[in-house]
Every structure is written in C-alpha cells, then in structure tokens.
Amino acid sequence: MITVSHVTKSYFRDKIEIPVLSDINLVVPPGEFLALMGPSGSGKSTLLNLIAGIDKPDSGDITVNNTTLQTLNETELAQWRSRSVGFIFQFYNLLPVLTAAENVELPLLLTKLRKKERVKHVDAALKLVGLGDRMDHYPKQLSGGQEQRVAIARAIVTDPTVLVADEPTGDLDKTSAEEILTLLEQLNKEFKKTIVMVTHDPRAAEKAHVVRNLDKGELD
C-alpha cells in the first residue's frame, strides 16, 4: 500500500522557486498496476521519485508498506530502497563495464547473501526476463529491449514489493515496448508486484488497472 497525502514539492533554479507538485493525494493499494500520465514537465518523474524514496517532499507524507519515508535518514532510506523498491529507468542505466549478470547482482551486494546464493538469484531473475542465455553479455552487446529487460531483472532481484518505472518503453521500438509491457504485466499478475509506471504512451497505459493524469502539478 502506497499512500501519498498532501505532498508538495518545488525545485529551485537560479534561486527562483518552480512549483512542481501541489497538494498531491494518492493511494495505491497492494498489487495495483498504476499508470501516471501527463504532459512533459508536469511532475510525473518527480512524484515517482518521491514514492521511490530518492527525493524528499517539501511537505506532506508518503507511506510505503507502513514505512513513513520522511522519518528515515539518508542511510536508512538507502537501506529501505535496496529492500523495498525496484527502479526501472527510461534509459536502462546499466553499468557499461559490467556484464548483464553482474549488473543484476549489484543490489544483492548490499545483502548478506553468499556468492552462490547471489548467483542463484541472478540466474532466476535473468531467466524470468528471458535472458538466461545473455548472462555474460555486456550492455553494448544487447539491444535496447534486452537492456531494459536486464534492468527489470536488476529491479526484481531483491524481490521488492513495489516497482517504479519511469517511461520504461520511452526509448524502445514498438515490438520491444510490447515485450516490456507484457513482462511488467506478468510481474504484476503472477508475482503480485505493485507497479507505478510513468508513461505518455497510451498503449502502455492500457495495460494498467488505473490511469491517473497529472497536469500542472495536480492529480485529476
């Protein structure tokens, strides 16, 4: 369960305040697949980042699975992220010097798991996204769709309950995008992941149970 209540957020550019979110309220029940839509610059990414705990609101509360994020300090927040959310970016954000398997292993390095167990988890995650045969490939040896699937494997390898995805198909062709969306749907249905996905692709939004629109800092 994700609860966002009375959240506001502004950024400062050259000392000028730019209001991004004003009094946002949102409840995402467990197992929900929610799509956030809205014009560019409307604050979708900002809201997603707040939910994922990589940014802090100016005011208001965000609670994710009974954890109130603003009560955590930087270190606790980092630990919370490593256990509780998986993040999927538009541009995959894999480390180019590491193989697919190593990229997926990164979040596990923060756990107490031994190498053998880590390898088992990495294996399972990559097989789940259909890349069991690409373990030792470097990102530049993979297609965009494959890279995004590696990124999804990295997001789910620690088995978090919440996945946040910021325009996960924004940089992909139609077929690859379709594959990624199917995968997200599967993660939601079979593995009961709560998914919050930012998109401005109507086809992507179709897969979601709920679509919310953000405009000028306000949720409809």
Partner 1 sequence: MVVLKLIIKNSFRHTLRTALTVVGLAIAVLAFGLMRTIVDAWYAGVEMSSANRMITRHSVSFIFSLPLSYKDQIAKIPGVTGVSYANWFGGLYGDPNQWENFFPRMAIDPETYFDMYPEFIVPPDQLETFRRERNACVIGKKLADEHRFRIGDAISMEGDIYPGSWTFVVRGIYTGRDKSIDETQMLFHWAYLDESIRAVQPGRAGNIGWYVLEVDDPNRMAGVAEQVDALFMNSRAGTKTETEKEFQQSFVSMSSAIITSLEVISFVIIGIILLVLANTIVMSARERMREYAVLKTIGFSSARIVSLIGGESLLIAAIGTAFGIAGTFPICQMFAEAFPTFFPIFNVAPLTLILCVLIAFGSAALAALFPAVRASRMKIVDGLRAIG
Ligand X SMILES: Nc1ncnc2c1ncn2[C@@H]1O[C@H](COP(=O)(O)OP(=O)(O)O)[C@@H](O)[C@H]1O
Count residues near ligand X (CB under 6 A). 12
179 binds, among ligand X, Mg ion, partner 1, none (CB under 5 to 8 A by kind): none
Q: Using CB under 8 A, which residues numbered 99 to 128 contact partner 1?
A: 102, 105-107, 109-110, 115
Number of Cβ within a 10 Å radius of residue 114: 9
- Which of 3, 47, 41 is closest to 22 using CA atoms? 47
140 binds, among Mg ion, ligand X, partner 1, none (CB under 5 to 8 A by kind): none
Task: Supply the minimum distance, in Å, between the C-beta of residue 142 and ligand X.
Answer: 26
| Per CB under 8 A, 52 contacts partner 1 | yes
Vertex 41: Cα angle to 198 and 19 (nearest 5) = 115
Candidate residues 81, 121, 149, 193; the one interacting with partner 1 per rule CB under 8 A: 81
| Per CB under 6 A, 20 contacts ligand X | yes
Number of Cβ within a 10 Å radius of residue 220: 9
Identify which of residues 45 and 169 has a Cβ nearer to Mg ion in the complex: 45
* Phi/psi-derived region of residue 117, left when phi > 0, alpha when psi is between -120 and 50, beta in every other case: alpha
Task: Specify whether the CB–CB gap between 163 and 184 falls below 8 A.
Answer: yes
Candidate residues 2, 34, 43, 146; the one interacting with ligand X per rule CB under 6 A: 43
| Per CB under 6 A, 90 contacts ligand X | no
Q: Is 50 helix (H, G, I), strand (E, B) or coil?
A: helix
| Per CB under 8 A, 210 contacts partner 1 | no
Helix axes 115-128 and 144-156, enclosed angle (nearest 10): 130
Identify which of residues 46 and 146 has a Cβ nearer to ligand X in the complex: 46
Q: With CB under 5 A as the contact rule, which of the stretches 37-45, 75-83, 115-123, 133-141 interacts with Mg ion?
A: 37-45
- Which of 34, 38, 33, 21 is closest to 200 using CA atoms? 38
Q: Which residues bind ligand X (CB under 6 A)?
A: 11, 13, 18, 20, 38, 40-46
